[in-house]
Amino acid sequence: MFTKNFNDEIGEELLSQRAQQDTVLLGETTYKFFADIWPEEPNTDPFAKHINQVKKIVFSKTLTFAPWGQYKAADIINGNTLEEINKLKKEPGKDIVIIGSANLIQNLAALDLIDEYQIMLEPIILGGGKPLFLNYKDPVDLQLSKSRAFTNGAVALYYQPIKNT
């Protein structure tokens, strides 16, 4: 997400998304990475201000406490993911988002719990990384609901899974 191609135009897109979100889901690895960085960033950074103030939930089988610097600690879910996510979705509030956390995305997708995929395609080949779409039993048809091309060549893609009933 934060490559040399990141610019104000992409930042504005991401901030408009964040305005619609009040809960962030994180896997344990992403949580540890974020918790070391974002609580120390000044709230003049719009992403820091957002991530530090919203409700954070960490999915982990090993953590018992998830501190977030001077801010409220993140909640931890280590039990029935399907049940816990369905409870979260029924709560009043804004959207729930997963940032990073490829394993968590894979697990929630396998349980058919992803309502929208928001993918930022950047014009850079990193030469490595973790596959996002892994271990799907069946194909998942997606419908493009929105796209936006940026002047630096990046493209934001928004897809909704087509529910096969």
| pLDDT tens-digit readout, 91-134 | 999 999 998 888 899 889 888 899 999 998 888 887 877 777 87
Q: Is the dihedral of CA 35, 39, 40, 41 positive or negative?
A: positive
Note the pTM of the prediction, 2 decimals. Answer: 0.86
More confident residue, 4 or 155: 155
- pLDDT reading at 66 higher than 50: yes
Q: Check residues 5 and 159 and name the one with the higher pLDDT.
A: 159
One-letter amino acid of 4: K
Task: Report in angstroms the alpha-carbon separations of 98 from 21, 26, 46.
Answer: 10, 6, 18
- Helical pair 8-18 and 46-53, crossing angle rounded to 10 deg: 20
Answer yes or no: is pLDDT of 1 > 50: no
Tell me what the mean pLDDT of segment 10-29 comes to.
Answer: 86
- Which amino acid makes up residue 62? T
Between 124 and 36, whose confidence is greater? 36
Higher pLDDT, 96 or 136: 96
